[in-house]
Homo-oligomer: A and B are copies of this chain.
């Protein structure tokens, strides 16, 4: 290991030079005019991975942008197989005027590299490629079997990756998926994410009269769909911030004492948080902290609401209908389909007999939980400890990473979320950046991880 670390240090400049070459390709997946650049980025990466010593490096064409694949499977059957996942595509760069330097001409300044893709996700996925390359150079082999899959549509509306995974389950079969596409809880606090929330997204529409009615002539004699909808939504949570859908909490895994103690140690200022969001105070489910509420408790939020006259001024109508988009964030081991059924039933029960209620489930995804005492997470934890000389933070994420759910359901493989980004990296915004230290140390963490896992 000593040798590898020495080698990595010696190669720092080359690693950065190569990454910058990669970053200069404007592989914006969601804009048609960058289609060729996406292909170019895929080819460049495939060649770089091939040069690193991988076998079967190739592009798989999809209806969208190609998927880069490669493998090295000579560690033996007794060694685990790790699937490294990442994406070579990047977000658009508008508004261009807010960038301090060219988005596709990366620069180094103030200890960070600046440019589109530095953090999300070219910079992070490249750490693993370089770690694996140096291990092969020094050892002539890898301590575990490794497959690499890098997609080009993570930032585009509709990815073809799910379909590819389903159709190529054997090719991709593995014991662990390694993903570096998330953030530490804060700068200087190496973190491992072991749980993501899931989602059930519904739309409800309440219809009353067959057209908007004059509120003078008819007001008072019939139920108003907008008032009805408000009453229904108000009933979906109680005064303790708990969701009232029957059976909603049946499968919720309670936070254990260890987790709560761990979260409590994370530096977190309610005051700073409120200032950041521009709110007067936090509020949520009774008995939980803000971190627990946003990482580990299920929610029910209105995402949008529409009814009647929305222009300037007054129009005295009783609207014919009212609708709301209602989404629930789910936690392990709630099931998205089960919650969809329950919310639909509940909305139909809440609607009075005077109106028509329609419920549509628009979207869903299951929550993810990787056991903290599992071998993969423990190897990642040890790798971080080896490099940073401190206990990493075990964190959760309030959002979802849909592909993690697909890896779980199709490949039956846990994902290790070993992200090295930090808050302030401005992903999806102008002036995206990534600390140089996190890149260099991240390569070491990656190398340590593969060795730890092989132990």
Contacts and interface: CB of A to CB of B under 8 A. Distances in A.
A299 interface: yes
Contacts of A214: 399
A203 B318 CA distance: 15
Interface string A192-225: 0000010101010000111101111111111110
Given A214-B399, A284-B220, A325-B309, A319 B294 contact: no
A278 interface: yes
A172 B294 CA distance: 67
Contacts of A227: 233, 237, 300-302
A303 B319 contact: yes
A228 B218 CA distance: 28
B230 A302 contact: yes
A222 B284 contact: yes
B219 A280 contact: no
A398 interface: yes
Interface string A284-315: 11000010011001111111111111100111
A341 interface: no
A147 interface: no
A281 interface: yes
Contact of A201 (B293, B314, B353, B397): B314
Given A284-B220, A299-B220, A210 B278 contact: yes
A303 B283 contact: no
Contact of A398 (B208, B209, B219, B302): B219
A171 interface: no
Interface in A223-275: 223-224, 226-227, 229-231, 233-235, 237, 273
Nearest to A320: B278
Contacts of A284: 220-222
Contact count band on A: 35 or more
A354 interface: yes
B218 A277 contact: yes
Contacts of A352: 283
Nearest to A196: B216
Interface string A26-48: 00000000000000000000000
Nearest to A234: B234
Nearest to A401: B216
B215 A303 contact: yes
B216 A398 contact: yes
A355 interface: yes
B306 A310 contact: yes
B219 A362 contact: no
Contact of A294 (B220, B273, B290, B356): B220
Interface in A362-379: 362-363
Contacts of A229: 230, 305
Given A222-B277, A222-B283, A314-B201, A217 B302 contact: no
A208 to B, nearest CB: 6
9 contacts: A208-B279, A209-B278, A216-B398, A221-B293, A226-B303, A231-B233, A231-B234, A304-B308, A305-B322
Given A217-B399, A305-B307, 19 more contacts: A201-B314, A215-B329, A216-B329, A216-B398, A217-B294, A217-B397, A218-B277, A220-B284, A221-B273, A221-B293, A224-B301, A226-B301, A302-B319, A303-B308, A304-B307, A304-B319, A305-B306, A306-B310, A313-B362
Interface of A: 197, 199, 201, 203, 208-211, 213-224, 226-227, 229-231, 233-235, 237, 273, 277-285, 290, 293-294, 297-310, 313-319, 322, 324-325, 327, 329, 352-356, 362-363, 397-400
